Each structure stands twice: as C-alpha cells, then as structure tokens.
C-alpha cells in the first residue's frame, strides 16, 4: 500500500497483486513496472504542482513589522495601542488614504477590501483576547483599565464606519466580517462600562 499525505487530504493507492498482474501468467513484468512508475510519477507531479501551502495558505492579519511591534510591546496598554494603530492603517487603505511607509511600521498593509476587513475583525478579536489574558493572570493590573478604555474609544470611532459599510455591502464575506467587528465592538463597549476610568491627574 502506498499512502500519500500532506495535500490537505489523504490519498491511498492500493498496489495489490491483482493490479500488478494485468497480464495472466506474467508477474513483475516490464508492463507492471511501467504501470507502477507511472502512478508514482503522477503522484510526484501532483505534489510538485500542488504543494501543501497551495491547499492551506493562511493570510497573516499583521505585517511583519506589526508583528515585531506587538512582540516588543508587552505592556497591555501599549499592546492595545499597536493593535488599534494597525486597524487604523487598514481603514486608511480601504478609504484610499495615504499610508506612508516608515522604519517603525514598515510597508502599508495590502490586500483586497474583503481581506482588509477580515484583518480588522481578527485584530479586534486579538485585542479582546489579550485583555482577557491579562485579566485572568492579574486582575489588579493597573494598566488594565487604561487599555480597556483605549480600545473602547477606538471602537466608538470604528462603529460608524462599520455601519456605513453595512449599508452598501453586497459581498457576503464582507458583510460577515463587518458584523463580526460590530459584535466585537459591542462587547468591548459593554465591558468598558463596568471598568472604572482612570482619573487624569491635574498638573499643578
């Protein structure tokens, strides 16, 4: 039995005596060897032209530079700042606003409108997950309220844009990502309502 894996599915070829003995009375003949080699050659061609990445490609919702910034900013308020900035950059690309390349942020994000909206949805989910992890590890983290309200302020700005887009959307994937982002924003705003806001200190 020859088993081929790694193409996103499983293909099994059974090389039995019956398949190897197509001509009665002849075993291990040149014809049988040719058949076996043909099958192996066909499998090789499939693996060559359709590698595993072709079946299971995943789009990164952060650029390489953004990934480094997320790693570098471990404090939760700074991490949320990076994620919301990444969302702002995608909104700018969608709205045809100039996003300049910089040494810190690297090249502007790329992708179709749908891809960028899905990126935004994933970034909001990432921000919520990071906040939840901080809350689970240390409920007394002094930066937690600041981070929650920073994300809530951004969600307040995002919601009108999401609602405007939903009014004209025709693509179902786009609609799905927009609805997902709206739901995330609603969750953030609801949670922020129960988190005391940090009082600003007066400078004397």
Predicted confidence (pLDDT) at residue 67 exceeds the cutoff of 80: yes
Q: In this structure, are 48 and 68 located in the same domain?
A: no
pLDDT in tens, 120-133: 999 999 999 999 99
Q: Are residues 128 and 90 in the same domain?
A: yes
Contact 197, 148 (CB under 8 A): no
Residues 32 and 73 in one domain: no
Any idea how long the chain is?
Answer: 204
- Do residues 33 and 93 both lie within one domain? no
Co-location of 115 and 71 in the same domain = yes
Please give the pLDDT value at position 119: 97
Q: Give pLDDT tens digits for 97-123.
A: 988 888 899 999 999 999 999 999 999
Please tell me the distance from the alpha carbon of residue 125 to that of residue 16, in angstroms, as a whole number: 51
Domain extent, residue 49, equals 2-55
Is it the case that residue 65 has pLDDT exceeding 90? yes
Q: Is residue 198 situated within a structural domain?
A: no
pLDDT number for residue 82: 97
Are 77 and 150 members of one domain?
yes
On whether both 115 and 167 belong to a single domain, the answer is yes
């Amino acid at each position: 039995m020859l088993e081929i894996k790694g193409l996103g599915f499983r293909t099994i070829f059974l090389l039995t005596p019956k398949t190897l003995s197509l001509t009665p009375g002849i075993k291990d003949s040149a014809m049988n060897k040719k058949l076996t080699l043909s099958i192996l050659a066909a499998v090789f061609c499939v693996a060559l032209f359709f590698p595993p990445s072709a079946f299971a490609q995943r789009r990164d919702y952060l650029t390489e530079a953004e990934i480094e910034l997320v790693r570098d900013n471990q404090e939760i308020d700074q991490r949320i700042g990076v994620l919301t900035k990444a969302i702002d950059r995608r909104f700018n690309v969608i709205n045809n606003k100039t996003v300049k390349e910089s040494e810190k942020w690297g090249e502007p994000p790329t992708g179709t409108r749908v891809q960028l909206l899905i990126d935004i949805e994933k970034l909001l989910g990432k921000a919520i997950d990071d906040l939840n992890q901080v809350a689970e590890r240390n409920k007394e983290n002094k930066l937690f309220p600041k981070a929650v309200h920073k994300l809530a302020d951004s969600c307040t700005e995002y919601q009108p844009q999401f609602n405007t887009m939903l009014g004209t959307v025709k693509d179902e994937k786009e609609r799905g990502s927009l609805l997902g982002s709206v739901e995330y924003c609603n969750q953030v705003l609801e949670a922020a309502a129960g988190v005391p806001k940090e009082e600003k200190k007066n400078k004397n």
